[in-house]
Chains A and B, each alone.
Chain A
Amino acid sequence: MSETIGYILLTVGIAFDVLGCIGLVRLPDVYNRLQAGTKCVTLGTAAILLSVLFFTGFNAISVKALLCIWFILITSPTAAHAISRAAHRSGIRLWKGSVLDRYAEDREGAEDKQ
Chain B
Amino acid sequence: MKRFLHFLIIYAVWLLLTWSVQWQELLVGVLVALFAELLLGDIFPVEGVKIFHPRRFFWLFVYFWVFIWAMIRANFDVAYRVLNIYLPIKPGIVKVRTKLTSDMGRTFLANSITLTPGTMTVDMIGDHLYIHWINVQSPDIQKDTEIIVRHFERILERIFE
A contacts, CB < 8 Å to B: 16, 19-20, 22-23, 26-29, 31-32, 34-36, 38-40, 42-44, 59-60, 63-64, 67, 73-74, 76-78, 80-81, 84-85, 88, 94-95, 97-104, 106
Contacts and interface: CB of A to CB of B under 8 A. Distances in A.
15 contacts: A19-B82, A20-B78, A35-B78, A43-B71, A59-B19, A77-B110, A77-B111, A80-B114, A80-B120, A81-B123, A88-B122, A98-B93, A99-B90, A100-B92, A100-B93
Contacts of A104: 93
A80 B13 CA distance: 25
B82 A22 contact: yes
Contacts of B114: 38-39, 77, 80-81
B40 to A, nearest CB: 15
Contacts of B26: none
A103 B87 contact: no
B95 A39 contact: no
B120 A60 contact: no
Contacts of B89: 27-28, 32, 97
Interface stretch (B28-36, B49-57, B131-139, B148-156): B131-139
Given A32-B89, A99-B136, A22 B83 contact: yes
Contact of B120 (A22, A34, A95, A101): A34
Contacts of B112: 77
B89 to A, nearest CB: 6
Nearest to B13: A67
B43 interface: no
Contacts of A63: 16-17, 19
A31 B122 CA distance: 9
Interface in B62-117: 71-72, 74-75, 78-79, 81-83, 87, 89-95, 110-112, 114-115
A56 B54 CA distance: 32
Given A63-B19, A81-B114, A106-B95, A31 B120 contact: yes
B20 interface: yes
Contacts of A38: 114-115, 120
B124 to A, nearest CB: 9
Contacts of A100: 92-94, 136, 139
A97 B90 CA distance: 7
A102 B78 contact: no
B132 A43 contact: no
Contact of B20 (A31, A60, A99): A60
